[in-house]
Amino acid sequence: MATKKFMYVNRKAPYGTVYALESLEVVLIAAAFEQEVTLAFVDDGVYQIIKNQKPKAIGMKNFSSTYKALGDYDIKQLYVERESLVERGLSEEDLMDITYEDEDDDWAEKSSLTIISRAEMTELMAAQDVTFSF
């Protein structure tokens, strides 16, 4: 099968709707298909990877640790839009540490998160073959 560039665009906050959780479930399956996988966190989607999520009191499962496990699935291209953070009063420090081990660099632990501008996000979106929106 041909290799395509898949992008998963996450624009919604977690817990208010199921899209964040079920988007992640698609990503985990997609990892098995040896396609190029990129995750974009734009607009309210930046809240999906915020630190210290504690949804127990609203009766929901905390799935935020799954983002930290994405490196084990060889998914390490997570792009976060800077403007989306700023508009929400957030900064890079508010995001979880999401890392992968670089096999080409003696398994050094490196960040999977890259903060980019809206202009850079625009270019990244244009470079995809298949875009799933959640």
Binding mask 46-85 for other proteins (x = CB under 8 A): -x--xxxxxx-xxxxx------------------------
Distance CA 60, CA 109 (A): 30
Q: Least distance from C-beta 63 to other proteins, angstroms?
A: 9
Torsion of CA 50, 51, 55, 60, to 10 degrees: 60
And the tokens for 3?
């290799």
Q: Does 123 bind other proteins (CB under 8 A)?
A: yes
Count of all residues that appear for the chain in the document: 134
Q: Tell me: does residue 120 bind other proteins (CB under 8 A).
A: no
Residues that bind other proteins (CB under 8 A): 1-2, 4, 6, 9, 11-19, 22, 25-26, 29-30, 32-33, 35, 42-44, 47, 50-55, 57-61, 87-90, 94, 118, 121-123, 125-126, 128-134
